[in-house]
Amino acid sequence: MHLGGYAFGIFPRSEHLIDISRSGSGFSEAAGKESELLIKAQKEFGTTYVDDPQLVWDDLFRPMLLTQKGFTINGITRYFETNTFYKQPVIEGKIEYAGGVEQYLSLQGNPSLIALPDPFSFFCMSKNIWYNDDATLIRDLGKMLARISGDLKKYGYKLLVLKGPMYAMRDASRFREGIMDSLHEIRDSFSGKVIVHTYFGNPKINAKILAGSSIDGVGIDPKFVSKSDMQLYGSKDISLGAVDGLNTRLEKIDELKAMLSGLKGKVDNIYITNNVDLEFLPQSFSISKVKLIGEAVRVLNDEAI
């Protein structure tokens, strides 16, 4: 079993950067400098992949809504059972790729990982007022994300994490073909690995869709998913969301080791990661969590777990 580790998703802003964002002056430059520091820290911690902190992403959809065709933005919507919100995408026309997402990337620090919304979750969390056919909508979302993924590989990204919380909340069987087509197109456009990361529940109801798709791996939260359920994904890589992005408590390496026990020989590639974006924590706690991931990978590989 090969063991790696990384953090994914949107990082929290420092108090200093939050103050600058409220003032409306110099935010982009300050966010760029802070992103470089966060990327440098991940490299020092020795994570397998280095996450783009996405500090200028106000939520997981916003850059796409502001740059691609077919969208407007609705009022704020609560982000599941958290105290944060996102602006709901409104689909008011045919979705088409228009470029421009690169302006939201932290290219100066040379990150190797970035997270985008999964097409099925994008569909579920949007308000559709234009498409008459849901499968066509999901495919068009997949085509747009595939074009963006093609852009990402030009900038050196090696791992694409597709955030898919809705797989744990809604039966996707009715949309199976559209989802499979979308994930295949995204995977085909990106030169590195593609992992769909699920959270806020057990995606068991949709395990056959994920296992049968062309993605490289599935991210799961061990609070909801048993070790036996991990076998539902066949030979896929498993990203174990063992580091809690909703709790400031710092996990211990022995706890992570216990979560991995019994998986040797059953999973070829496994990664220790966070269960949800670290943006829900103060930045100092998120940095400690990323440092823990790097330490755990070194220690547990030395122990030949």
**Domain residue ranges of the chain, discontinuous segments joined by +:** 2-302
CB proximity list for 77: less than 8 A, separation 6 or greater: 85, 86, 87, 88, 125
Question: Tell me, what's the pLDDT at 208?
Answer: 97
| Domain 2-302 -> CATH class | alpha beta
Using CA atoms, how far apart are residues 179 and 133, in angstroms rounded to an integer? 13
Question: Tell me, what's the pLDDT at 234?
Answer: 92
Question: Tell me, what's the pLDDT at 304?
Answer: 58
pLDDT digits (tens, 9 = 90+) for 185-205: 999 999 999 999 999 999 999
What is the rounded average pLDDT for all residues in the chain? 95
Question: Tell me, what's the pLDDT at 42?
Answer: 98
**Tokens 């994300």 sit on residue:** 145
Question: Tell me, what's the pLDDT at 305?
Answer: 60
Amino acid at 88: Q
Using CA atoms, how far apart are residues 220 and 218, in angstroms rounded to an integer? 6
Which position has the higher pLDDT, 115 or 84?
A: 115
Q: Tokens for 175?
A: 């949309």
Of 229, 232, 233, nearest to 217 by C-alpha is 233
Give percent of the chain above pLDDT 70. 99
pLDDT digits (tens, 9 = 90+) for 237-296: 999 999 999 999 999 999 999 999 888 778 889 999 999 999 999 999 999 999 999 999
Residue 141, exposed/middle/buried by CB under 10 A (0-12, 13-18, 19+)?
A: buried
Instruction: Say if residues 112 and 158 touch (Cβ distance below 8 Å).
Output: yes
With a cut of 90, say whether residue 157 has pLDDT above it: yes
Question: Tell me, what's the pLDDT at 83?
Answer: 85
pTM of the predicted model, to two decimals? 0.97
* 41-54 CB burial, b ≥16 within 10 A, e <16: bbeebebbbbbbbb
